[in-house]
A and B are shown apart, each in its own frame.
Chain A
Amino acid sequence: MKFFRILPLTMFAMAAGSLSAGELTIATVNNGHMIEMQKLTGNFEEANPGITVNWVTLEEGVLRQRVTTDITTKGGQFDVMTIGMYEAPIWGSRGWLEELTFDASYDVDDILPAMRGGLSSDGKLYAAPFYGESSMIMYRKDLVEAAGMSMPDNPTWGHIQDVAAAITNKDEGVYGVCLRGKPGWGDNMAFITTMANSFGARWFDENWMPQLDSAAWHHTIDFYINLLNNYGPPGSSGNSFNEILALFNEGKCGMWIDATIAASFISDPGQSKVADQVAFAQSPVAVTNRGANWLWAWALAVPAGTKQADDAKKFIEWATSKEYIELVAATNGWGSVPTGTRQSTYDNANFQNAAVFADAELKAILSANPSNSTQDPTPYTGVQFAAIPEFQAIGIAVGQQMSAALAGDISVQEALANAQEAADREMSKAGYY
């Protein structure tokens, strides 16, 4: 019977351990820059006695679900959240995030305008970019040169197809072009949307009517599927960033159009067998150069429900400052600093020397304009997404159709008809028309 008396006490003891004042809980994703920030947190704690930082690292999909649940139920589990450019303006405008204001020493004007704009709503900054990215072409210059081809800085999709045809050597296991095919609004649809923008397509017209059955979308998807079927690796419908990174680093891809962050991985001899053969160019264009390359940032935000907003803002100020970037450089070298956020990083000669991709990355980021990313007018902002709450569900549904078409399970016609129906249903249900 003694046990029954002990049990409640034991359970109470196990329950104890809730966070005390001065402890910040930060939810983040697992990637190199974030892990580095965790390692350097001691510097922040030293400079701010009384504040300790607890990290919760989550898989990207789980992170989105957890922070959404936490913020909508006012769970208060997290004091700082890692969110993307999609969530920041939506959540900010709903009052779910604290507005971020910094003193002059932070130099908010140094943050790249595209990043600042993408993380703001009604002129208020709701998340500070920790690292940012666009998309660009990463290619094997040895293969392109050997095939007697060249790669201009702003190629067309037609040229990409010609180069892919010239460098594909299936017998040797080398594929001309590797592109995302795995379904997901942040997977295949991020890439396909930039391609569609460039082919003159758009997600919605000015009245929020989905446009997925338009001729421009048909041209885009036809081109995309033909390109991958003829010159892409087998099983492309299951490939996303990491799968293609593995292929590229193994020397199996001639060209890859994806996040600029990949440049640091594929040009690192410790990770890539072709590190000394990579070169970069801007994303290909078709009928317009608007929206041809995406814009994304992983940013730090403070949920409105936190009781430690001041400490949380202090942490964000530290983690997204110029001084933090210099700290990373002093610790690991300029090649390891988080990029895509501050102009001062790109102006730094040491960084320019260490990062062979610096110019191409900056050019891509600066050319992305979330407010004007399609040939025809639209009511939404966002390059590779439409910044409305319904987009996530629509993007997933459409991504599944595109992936199925790529796998050959359904025709392009069917895929786009199904996609249009799914988008129409979702928008109608949400009361857009």
Chain B
Amino acid sequence: MGLSVKQKHLLRVILSWFAGIIMFFPIFWVVLTSFKTELQAISVPPLLFFEPTLENFILVQERSDYFTYAINSVITSFGATLLALLIAVPGAYAMAFWPSRFTKDILLWMLSTKMLPAVGVLMPIYLLVQKAGLLDTRTALVIIFAMINLPIIVWMLFSYFKEVPREILESARMDGATTIEEITRVLLPLTKGGILSTALLSIVLCWNEAFWSINLTASDAGTLTALVASYSSPEGLFWAKLSAVSTLACAPIVVFGWFCQKQLVQGLTFGAVK
């Protein structure tokens, strides 16, 4: 006996909630732990109810200049996304509307660069950055973040651009539009939902990037992920403080994502239903 439509709907709702709770629980627990003392944080069994304290947040602000790290995160995330889009838009345009017999290979090759673990190229990248005099600068992070997200951005833009009928661009060209005008006045307005969602995804990926930020920065250009990593301690309890700094690091991007979720979903489903 099969399930009725109502039962199927209920099952879907339950499964969705279950998946949502599973994904949200670690974040909830980090936020909860950030309001505990170190002793409460290690309590067995774990405490769900306790007298909350703000001491960890105060301590984090006392010990580290949170806003410097936050500003670095904002600059590197937005800067890298902008730089990547500047490179990816013409690239994706060329591949979507002027494909050659190597286009698919190029796309696959670009994606394959994401399969290499970052640590595999740590030394060459470190030496390049060092020789360029860019160690501990936001410029280095902007360039590297842009490069590591470029394959994904090109792929996404390529998919969105493919949805645009070639005839629209051809008619613009017949009306005398240059290639730059064709892109900026016709293609970009038509795909702005997709571009925006790509940009949002890139910003989130850059914000959460830790490996390069930890390895290439020192006192000036550290981002929030580097700040979070610095709260791990070899000797001494640190869970509550680490949770507090993690909460502070996640908060801006979560709020940002919350405000942009409509555009994000709209963009990601662009062209999904014809």
Q: Which residues of A contact B (CB under 8 A)?
A: 10-12, 14-15, 17-19, 25, 27, 29-32, 35, 38-39, 54-60, 62, 65-66, 69, 73, 75, 77-78, 173, 241-242, 245-246, 249-250, 252, 259, 261-262, 265, 270-273
Whether B44 contacts A73 by the Cβ 8 Å rule is no
- Give A149 Cβ to nearest chain B Cβ, in Å: 25
Query: Please, which residues of chain B bring their CB within 8 A of the CB of A73?
Result: 126-127, 130
Q: Are B137 and A14 in contact (CB under 8 A)?
A: yes
**Contact of A15 (CB < 8 Å), options: B38, B64, B137, B214:** B137
The verdict on A261 contacting B235 (CB below 8 Å), with A17-B220, A58-B230 known, is: yes
Q: List 30 A-B contacts (CB under 8 A).
A: A11-B139, A11-B142, A14-B139, A15-B137, A15-B138, A17-B137, A17-B138, A17-B220, A17-B221, A19-B220, A30-B230, A30-B232, A30-B238, A31-B236, A38-B63, A54-B219, A58-B214, A58-B230, A59-B230, A69-B126, A73-B126, A75-B126, A77-B135, A77-B136, A242-B234, A242-B235, A242-B238, A246-B237, A259-B235, A272-B39
When chains A and B are docked, how far (Å) is the Cα of A25 from the Cα of B222?
13
Residues of chain B within 8 A of A27, CB atoms compared: 218
Question: With A and B bound together, what is the CA distance between A250 and B237 in angstroms?
Answer: 12
Is there an interface contact between A249 and B42, defined as CB atoms closer than 8 Å?
yes
For A30, A78, A173, A250, the residue with the greatest tally of chain B CB atoms inside 10 Å of its CB is A30
Q: B137's closest neighbor in chain A, by CB?
A: A15
A57 to B255, CA, bound (A): 28
**Distance in Å from the Cβ of A315 to the closest Cβ of chain B?**
14
Interface check B79, CB cutoff 8 A? yes
Within 8 Å of chain A (Cβ to Cβ): is B215? yes
| Interface check B233, CB cutoff 8 A | yes
* Main SS class of interface, B: loop
Q: Mark B36-53, 1 if CB is under 8 A from A, else 0.
A: 001100111000000000
Does B39 lie within 8 Å of A15, measured CB to CB? no
B25-42 contacts to A (CB < 8 Å)? 38-39, 42
- Whether A25 pairs with B219 at a CB distance below 8 angstroms is yes
Contacts of B236 in A (CB 8 A): 31-32, 242, 245, 265
Within 8 A of A (CB), among B122-138: 123, 126-127, 130, 133-138
A65→B229 CA distance, assembly (Å):
14
Question: CA–CA, A109 to B107, complex, Å?
Answer: 66
- Report the minimal beta-carbon distance from A236 to chain B, rounded to whole angstroms: 16
By a CB distance below 8 angstroms, the chain B residues around A261 are: 235
B75 at the interface (CB under 8 A from A): yes
Specify which of A18, A32, A69, A242 lies most central, judged by the most chain B CB atoms within 10 Å of its CB: A242
CB atoms of A270 and B218 under 8 A apart: no
From B44, B130, B133, B232, give the contact of A59 (CB < 8 A). Answer: B232
- List chain A residues, Cβ under 8 A from B234: 29-31, 59-60, 241-242
Residues of B participating in the A interface, judged by any CB pair closer than 8 Å: 38-39, 42-44, 63-64, 75, 79, 123, 126-127, 130, 133-139, 142, 214-215, 218-222, 229-238
The CA-CA distance from A57 to B138 in the complex, in Å, is 18
CA distance A17 to B79 in the complex (A): 17
Question: How long is the Cα–Cα vector from A12 to B134 in the complex, in angstroms?
Answer: 10
CB nearest neighbor in B for A34: B233
Residues of chain B within 8 A (CB-CB) of A54 are: 218-220
A15, B136: Cα distance in complex, Å: 9
Q: Residue A242 contacts which of B126, B134, B137, B237 (CB distance < 8 angstroms)?
A: B237
One of A25, A57, A250, A271 near B44 (C-beta < 8 A): A250
Which residues of the partner chain A approach B75 to less than 8 Å between Cβ atoms?
14
- Residue on A nearest B44 in the bound complex, by CB: A250
Nearest-CB residue, chain B, relative to A265: B236
What residues on B are CB-neighbors of A11 within 8 Å?
A: 79, 139, 142
In the complex, which residue of chain A has the Cβ closest to the Cβ of B82? Answer: A7
Contacts of B127 in A (CB 8 A): 73
Nearest CB of B to A7, in Å: 8
Q: Which of A18, A66, A78 contacts B137 (CB 8 A)?
A: A18
* CA distance in complex: A270, B126 (Å): 43
CB proximity of B227 to chain A, nearest CB, Å: 9
- The residue of chain A having its C-beta at the shortest distance from the C-beta of B217 within the complex is A56
Q: Is the CB of A273 within 8 A of B139?
A: no
Partner of B233, one of A10, A14, A30, A75: A30
Q: Which residues of B contact A31 (CB under 8 A)?
A: 233-236
The answer to whether B233 and A29 have CB atoms under 8 Å apart is yes
Flag if A30 contacts B39 (CB, 8 Å): no
A17 to B64, CA, bound (A): 19
Residue of B with least CB distance to A173: B44
Q: Which residues of B contact A60 (CB under 8 A)?
A: 232, 234
Least Cβ distance of B178 to chain A in Å?
13
With the chains together, A12 CA to B79 CA distance in Å? 13
Give the distance in Å from the alpha carbon of A27 to the alpha carbon of B215 in the complex: 12
A55 touches B219 (CB 8 A): yes
Q: Which one of A18, A250, A259, A262 lies within 8 Å of B42 (CB-CB)? A: A250
B233 proximity list for chain A (CB < 8 A): 29-31, 242
Whose C-beta in chain B lies nearest to the C-beta of A241? B235
Contact between A14 and B79 (Cβ–Cβ < 8 Å)? yes
List residues of chain B with CB within 8 A of the CB of A15. 133-134, 137-139
Distance to closest chain B CB from A253 (angstroms):
12
- Additional A-B contact list (6), CB under 8 Å, known A54-B220, A69-B215, A78-B218: A12-B139, A17-B221, A25-B219, A32-B236, A242-B237, A271-B39
Q: Quote the shortest CB–CB distance from B89 to chain A (angstroms).
A: 13
**What is the distance, in angstroms, from A279's C-beta to the closest C-beta of chain B?**
21
- Using Cβ atoms and an 8 Å threshold, which residues of chain B touch A35? 63
Q: Complex: how many Å from CA A58 to CA B228?
A: 10
Distance from B188 Cβ to chain A, minimum over Cβ atoms (Å)? 14
**Complex: chain B residue closest to A258, CB-CB:** B235
Report how far A430 CA is from B58 CA in the complex, Å.
Answer: 50
How many Å lie between the Cα of A182 and that of B62 in the bound state? Answer: 33
Query: How distant is A37 from chain B, measured CB to nearest CB, in Å?
Result: 12
Q: Which residues of B contact A62 (CB under 8 A)?
A: 214-215, 229
User: A265's contact among B137, B139, B232, B237, by CB below 8 Å, is which?
Assistant: B237
Contact of A262 among B130, B136, B142, B235 (CB under 8 A): B235
A284 to chain B: closest CB distance in Å? 21
How far, in whole Å, are A55 and B226 apart by their CA atoms in the complex? Answer: 13
